[in-house]
Structure formats: structure tokens, C-alpha cells
Amino acid sequence: MEFKIKRNVLAKTLGNIVKIIPPKSTYTILQNIIIEAKDSNLSIQATDLDIFIKKTIPAEIIEEGKVLIPGKKILEITREANIEDIIFKLKELKLLISAGNAQFNIPSLDYQEFPEVPKFPDKKWFDLSIGEMGEMVESTIFMVAKDMSRRPMNGVLVQLKENELRIVTTDGARLAMNKKEKKETAGELIIATKVFDLIDYSKPEEQMEIFIEERVMGIKFLDTTVIARLIEGPYPNYEGVIPKEFTGNCTVEKEILDGALKRVSLVASPHIKNVKFDFHGNSITLSASSSDIGEAKEEIPCVYDGEKLGIWFNANFVLEILRHISAADIIFKLTSQSTAAVVKPKTDEDMTYLLMPLRIDNWE
Amino acid sequence: MEFKIKRNVLAKTLGNIVKIIPPKSTYTILQNIIIEAKDSNLSIQATDLDIFIKKTIPAEIIEEGKVLIPGKKILEITREANIEDIIFKLKELKLLISAGNAQFNIPSLDYQEFPEVPKFPDKKWFDLSIGEMGEMVESTIFMVAKDMSRRPMNGVLVQLKENELRIVTTDGARLAMNKKEKKETAGELIIATKVFDLIDYSKPEEQMEIFIEERVMGIKFLDTTVIARLIEGPYPNYEGVIPKEFTGNCTVEKEILDGALKRVSLVASPHIKNVKFDFHGNSITLSASSSDIGEAKEEIPCVYDGEKLGIWFNANFVLEILRHISAADIIFKLTSQSTAAVVKPKTDEDMTYLLMPLRIDNWE
């Protein structure tokens, strides 16, 4: 095997590929990537056993061949090279790399040791632009449960239902849903968040195709193919927990709420970050206290159409939602002290955040 | 006590002060700062028991007084405030803070619990501009030993000798010295690196005054007074280890060496990062290898006036020195495979880095 390739093309490609490489402590063969030179392309593959990624890029192939080689080391060498073209040549199981005046000699492994790649799913499910996928994922993925004992909630629900494509995430105390009109066949799957890290969002107008099979999802976009094993369900019944009716609606300027909440929450209990929201007339009074840190209170203007209502939220959960909303105004839809509240950007009906209130025993 | 102060002035001052506050796990009283309102100034003090810092800033004093209060919490409140002036008022051991619509109520402590501050040294030692001190410290402080068992080497040697002010640091394998002509009384002290973090380097033209006493150092600059307990010596005999004569001199372009060394060291042993420098003719050949990662070699141009010499260095140590040199060319002064080498920026005679070669058993 021998080929010549543009340094910047290879560096960018490897930079995306190595994101899938697991930490060094696990199964060491996964530290390696397959590089195959064939026709006038190089194809590069890596996996963490759950997800397989393959990218195909143009290269000047001098001799076809295939090699299994440490992925991060090849990326480091490519990044540090100070020359436009790098030449790779396999010689007696050693990969010789010529990068200008620098010469490297890296031992390779037998490529047959690379894990078996599952078959790419036959069945096309739907198309979506990379930009649309990026926006749906960005607005929801931060709410995926970090607690590894809640397996389905560690993934992202991708669901097609009632002519809507829905991306849903939840950690049990909060839920995020973003939806988009889409008329393809109904279906659903739960997929690891890591899959979405592998997408190169720099060309938002390009399309991606999603394929589905019983146990795997397939994604094709630009020069990339991803095959990912599904997370086993069932996913929590999220539709059942979203209230349909509300007794109060409050519109508030996002920046004003954000600033006041950051201030008041400074004295909240560091653990649960409990801040009380008192909705009354056309204002919200935010208040918090903890015996050792102190007390704080701030009143901010809003447009509120319901009964006087006091409700406790985890300030960090609210601030995190605010960070993911680009609209200037947000809406709180409320029912009672103990009912889930819905938070939405005012200008985007497709986006829903659900927030459980904190149960504080000593109501003031 | 009651006073009104500009939010940005207070935030900047506290931002510097809290750097001295130790982690929460230690003696909790040190989490607190003293704020004293007197005449038309506010003075703020904090300590970690080794170093005491006091800053004095103008404020509108409505009622004089003194309070001991959590430092980081007051800084957070000040940073998050969205108003120009903040009003502080002490009422029954609670500090009421009015920051626009936000009201805080923070419990205070008895200020007599604050540790006793050592007397500021009487004896003035020397003056230096903040910019000169900054440059001397920046170029040397990274070499202070991190290993906490080598007490004097965990500090910075400040020495006045032979009409030179010298700042010296070493970790046992490397040494850095920066010097400047200064005719004041000879003397020396070893001081914790943390002292230099407390200096606000944003006004380089302003002077700082250094005071000395048997066990403490005093520093005055701008609105700040620092009193720091000295680290006990003796400091290693650094002059004895710097060779005076060399058998070879090599001038090399810093950027070229930096790039090549970064590349070649990618295959060096991750632990000792051993790279061989072969000085010969007018080039240096850098080479490295480790059995599991591979081999690399790169030749770079230089101007060398000595005998052929092969010498191993820890690449990370050399790269770290290069990062702290702003000159375009650097000089290696060499004697043998096992003798300390001197590295200097070509354009700065006052700066000396000393580097011990690695002892590699299998010389090639």
C-alpha cells in the first residue's frame, strides 16, 4: 500500500473519526483505525463496538492496500506536519510516513483483528438536512440523563409519529422535545448521543439520509457512513407527562429572567439550587435562601394571565434551558405548585421544555 | 457600617483578592474577607495564613465600620449585579446588599476571628516597575518544582548579588534565571509563587516597592499591600551548576526547532519524552523511538561551531522553554552528552535556561 494525500484533508477527516475512539483503558484494538487505499480513494474506519464510522476521501493511490494503525497517533502526526502532502507507504507491516523532512515508522497490526462491521440497514427511513438535524439535536441533547443506570434515558428518542419527526430527551426531572413536519413512515428508535457528535455540522445545507433496521440505525451524509446499534427501549411515555391544559401563561424577557435568576440563585442551597418563582400581577418575584449563605429576592416584570402562584424550580435547570433558547421572550405555561410547567421560546411552537417543580416541604 | 461603591471597581478588586482564598476544605475562616469602611475608602483584606493582601479603593462611606464576610460569595454577587452602584449596609450582623432590584442578606462573622496580620517590614529593599517584575517572573516561574517535598525549590529565589537582581527557579532537572542590573544592598529570599499571582500586571509602568525583614517580605504597588512569609532555605547552589565554558554553540530558529521537536517527540516514550539531538555540521538531527509507538527522525538547519555531539533531552522540557522565549533565534551552549546545556534567547543575555541531558543507557 502506498498513497499521497493532502495534509489538511486527512487532518480534518481523522479529527472527526477519532471522536469515536474510546479511552485507552478499554479494549486496545479499538485505538486503531483501518485505512484502505483503493481506486482513487482512501477509506478510513473506526469503532467503539456500538458505533461504526467510515469516511471516504480522495487521495493519490500509488499502490492499493489496507492497514490497521493507531488512530490518534496518525492524527497527531498529520496535525503537526508542516507540509502540504504526506506520503504513506506500508513496508513489512511498518507504515512509513514522509511529511517533508520528518520521517515516521509506525508498526501496524493485522487488519483482520478489526471488529466485524454490521450490515448497513436496507430500509431508508427519512431525509433531513444536516442543519435541521443540528438544530433539533442542539436544542434537546443537553437533557439526556447522565445517570448511567437509566439506560433508555441515556439515549435520544428519534420518533416519527402523526406526520411529525420528534427528537425527545429526558432525565426524569425535565424533558425536551423538538419536532418538525415529516410525512414518512411512522417508527422510532433510541440512539446514543455519541452518534450526533460524529456529524460534521459545517455544511448545514447538505442532506443526510437515515436508514433503519430492527437493531441498527444507518446514517449517510457527505463522505461519511455511520452504523449504530440501537439502545433497547421502551422509552418513557413522554406524551403522558406533558400537560395539555394550563391555568396560567407568563411571558417574560429571557435576558431579564436569566440575570435575576443567576443573582438570586447565588444564595440558594448549592445542592438543589431551589429558587421560588412567585407569579403575581405583572411580575415574578424570585427568592431564595439557605441558612449558611443568606437570602436574596428580586422582582422582574412579565405578562401573566393567571392566578397568584408560588412554585419552586431548580435554578440551574431553568438557566440551562434559557441558554438553549435563542428567542428574546419565553413563555411559562403553569397549572399548580406541583404540576409540570412547560417552557417554550415565544417564537417557536415546535420546541417544548417540560420542567418538574421542586417539592419543598416548608411552603412559605 | 454603610457604603456605596462602583460595581466594576469592587468586582475587579475582589477578583484579585479572592485569588488568595484557599480551597473550601481547609480552615473555613479563611473563606472570609475583611471589608472596612473608613474615611472615604474601603479596605479589603484576605489571607491564606502565609500571604496577606490588602487593597484600598475609594467608596462613598455613609457610616464607618468593619465586617468579616464570605469573599467569593460577595464577588459572585458583585459580578452578577446589573447596576452601576451597589449599596452595602451592616444591620445586626447581617450585610444587606442592594444591587438594583436585587436584595441580598448575608450573615457576617465577628471580624476579630480574622487571623492576626504580621507587621509590614520596615526595611525597604528595592524598587522595580510592575512590567519588569512581570517579565522576570513570567520567564522563570514555570520551572518551579511541583513536587511538594522539595520545599525551597517550590519557591522563587529573589536575590540581589554583584549589582544584579536575579530571579531563579529550578525543579532539579532544569533551572531558569533572569537578571537585571540593580545596585541596592545584597540580600536574598525565597517566596511562594502565589505571591506573584496577586500582582495586577495591567499597569506595567507603575512602580512596586519591595521590603524585607528576617521572616517576611512586603510589597507595595498601586492600591495594594502584600505581606508574605518567607520559605525557609537554603536554596540550591545554582551558580555551581551553571557551566562557564562550552565546547560548542548552536544557533537555531526557534519556530523550526519547535515544529520538528513536536513531530519527532510524538513517538518518544510518553513518560520520559526522550528525543536525541545530534548536532553535526550545520544541522541538528532529531530522533526518537519507542518499541510500541514507532520511530521518527527529522533534520533541521542550524549554525553550529562544535564537534559532532549526540545528546538526549526531555522534549517537553525543551518545548516548554521555547514557549517562554519570544526571540526568533535561540542558542544552545553545549559541552558533552552528560553535561548541563544552556539555552538562551539569542537577543537576551540576561536570560539563562539550564537543562540537564537525559542519561540513556543504550547510546546509539
Question: Residue B297's closest chain A neighbor by CA?
Answer: A103
Is there a contact between B273 and B359 (Cβ–Cβ < 8 Å)?
Answer: no
The CATH architecture one would assign to domain B242-355 is Roll (3.10)
Question: Residue B293's closest chain A neighbor by CA?
Answer: A106
Cell of A79: 496535525
Partner-chain contact B298 A267, CB within 8 Å? no
Interface A-B: count of C-beta contacts within 8 A:
87
Partner-chain contact B293 A262, CB within 8 Å? no
Comparing CA positions, the residue from A342, A339, A358, A336 lying closest to residue A272 is A358
Neighbour order of strands in the sheet with A155-161: A187-192, A155-161, A164-170, A174-181, A351-355, A341-345, A329-334, A248-253, A303-304
Written as one letter, the residue type at A139 is S
Question: Residue A301's closest chain B neighbor by CA?
Answer: B101
The CATH architecture one would assign to domain A123-173+180-236 is Roll (3.10)
- Tell me which residue in A94, A293, A295 faces B73 most closely, judged by beta carbons: A293
- The secondary structure of residue B195, as a DSSP letter, is H
The residue extents of the domains of chain A are 2-113, 123-173+180-236, 242-355
The long-range contacts involving A169-172, CB below 8 angstroms and separated by at least 24 positions, are: A169/A140, A169/A141, A169/A142, A169/A143, A169/A144, A170/A143, A170/A144, A170/A145, A170/A236, A170/A238, A170/A354, A171/A143, A171/A144, A171/A145, A171/A146, A171/A147, A172/A145, A172/A236
pLDDT at site B361: 62
pLDDT in tens, A183-205: 999 999 999 999 999 999 999 99
Comparing CA positions, the residue from A257, A256, A272, A263 lying closest to residue A312 is A272
Q: Domain B123-239 in CATH: superfamily? A: DNA Polymerase III, subunit A, domain 2 (3.10.150.10)
Comparing CA positions, the residue from A190, A204, A121 lying closest to residue A157 is A190
pLDDT at A364 > cutoff 50: no
Model ipTM value: 0.89
CA-to-CA distance for A289 and B100, rounded, in angstroms? 19
Partner-chain contact A105 B296, CB within 8 Å? yes
pLDDT in tens, B44-88: 999 999 999 999 999 999 999 999 999 999 999 999 999 999 999
- Tell me which residue in B70, B101, B266 faces A298 most closely, judged by beta carbons: B101
- Tell me which residue in B104, B266, B293 faces A267 most closely, judged by beta carbons: B104
Burial call B11-37: b when 16+ CB within 10 Å, e when fewer: bbbbebbbebbbeeeeeeebbbbbbbb
How many angstroms away from the CA of A5 is the closest CA of chain B?
18
Across the range A119-126, mean pLDDT stands at 96
**What residue has cell string 543575555?**
B349
- In the beta sheet, which residues pair with residue B32? B70
pLDDT in tens, B134-191: 999 999 999 999 988 889 999 999 999 999 999 999 999 999 999 999 999 999 999 9
- Tell me which residue in B70, B81, B296 faces A102 most closely, judged by beta carbons: B296
Cα-Cα-Cα-Cα dihedral of A172, A178, A181, A184, to 10°?
-50
Partner-chain contact B299 A101, CB within 8 Å? yes
How many angstroms away from the CA of B360 is the closest CA of chain A?
21
Same fold, B123-239 and B242-355: yes
Partner-chain contact A106 B293, CB within 8 Å? yes
Q: Which residues of A touch B82 (CB under 8 A)?
A: 259
H-run or E-run covering A354 = strand A351-355
Across the range A72-85, mean pLDDT stands at 96
Angstrom distances, CA of residue A259 to CA of A290, A344, B299: 20, 18, 57
pLDDT at site A27: 87
The CATH architecture one would assign to domain A2-113 is Roll (3.10)
Partner-chain contact B292 A107, CB within 8 Å? yes
